[in-house]
Amino acid sequence: MASGDKQQFNVYLPPELVRAAKKVSLEQGQSLSAFVADALRAHVQMPTGRPFAVDGQVSPLPIMFVRDMRTALVFCRALGLRLRARSRNGRWAELTGPDGGVGLHDADRDDEPRTELAFVSHGPLEPLVQRLTAAGFTCQDIIDEGFGYSVIVHGPDGMRFQVNEFDDATYDNASTRTDR
């Protein structure tokens, strides 16, 4: 579609959703049409429910490395988080809430439980690595993690971050699970 080609699309939404969309579009400096187009594009391209994700953007995702995955899942559910996905091998789970989420990773038995800040890429890692490198940050090689791909980035003050590109085909589909 050429950049000037547009078509009207009438939808009926609850007034509170319309107000919220207008507010967020203004906060982001976008027209309401551009905001809604980005939101729809993200939802259509990402049927797993990561809201309003656009290629090139990242979202923070704290990762808890835990020794007892079952107890960690019970804890997160008691906090009100919902299981979105779980890896087939049971070593990874992703839980979501209204404004964020958390990843659970099965820690090796001799590792201390810990929490690390990671990011989720809402598109391929390669363009992100190019942008970070151009900005002067060091990135290690992109590796296949079994749940998708990841890259280690050395950020400000030498801090180390992992950025993940998830492959939902490697997950059990949590939206069809009954053990939530």
If asked whether residues 104 and 159 sit together in one domain, one would say yes
If asked whether residues 19 and 94 sit together in one domain, one would say no
48 pLDDT above the threshold of 50 = no
123 touches 129 (CB < 8 A): no
179 pLDDT above the threshold of 70 = no
- Average confidence score pLDDT of the chain: 80
Which residue segment(s) compose the domain that 167 sits in? 58-176
Percent of the chain at pLDDT exceeding 70: 79
If asked whether residues 34 and 67 sit together in one domain, one would say no
Q: Is residue 129 part of a domain?
A: yes
Q: Is residue 4 part of a domain?
A: no
CA-nearest of 34, 65, 60, 40 to 52 is 40
If asked whether residues 23 and 105 sit together in one domain, one would say no
If asked whether residues 68 and 40 sit together in one domain, one would say no
State the Cα–Cα distance between residues 111 and 78, nearest whole angstrom: 25
State the Cα–Cα distance between residues 54 and 62, nearest whole angstrom: 20
State the Cα–Cα distance between residues 47 and 45, nearest whole angstrom: 6
If asked whether residues 85 and 125 sit together in one domain, one would say yes
In the chain, how many domains are there? Answer: 2
* Most confident option among 8-17, 31-40, 64-73: 64-73
CA-nearest of 27, 101, 109, 117 to 63 is 117
Percent of the chain at pLDDT exceeding 90: 31
**Polymer length in residues for the chain:** 180
Residue type, 100: G
- pLDDT tens-place string over residues 82-122: 988 888 888 889 898 887 889 999 998 787 889 999 998 88
Strand, coil or helix: 178: coil
Reported as a pLDDT band with limits 50, 70 and 90, residue 41 is: low
State the Cα–Cα distance between residues 50 and 37, nearest whole angstrom: 16
If asked whether residues 21 and 85 sit together in one domain, one would say no
State the Cα–Cα distance between residues 129 and 141, nearest whole angstrom: 9
Q: Which residue intervals of the chain are DSSP H helices? A: 15-27, 32-45, 69-78, 125-134
Reported as a pLDDT band with limits 50, 70 and 90, residue 178 is: very low
If asked whether residues 110 and 24 sit together in one domain, one would say no
If asked whether residues 72 and 150 sit together in one domain, one would say yes
CA-nearest of 85, 89, 121 to 103 is 85
If asked whether residues 111 and 169 sit together in one domain, one would say yes
pTM above 0.85, yes or no: no
Residue 4 makes CB contacts below 8 A (sequence gap 6+) with none
State the Cα–Cα distance between residues 25 and 33, nearest whole angstrom: 9
If asked whether residues 68 and 156 sit together in one domain, one would say yes
Q: Is residue 74 part of a domain?
A: yes
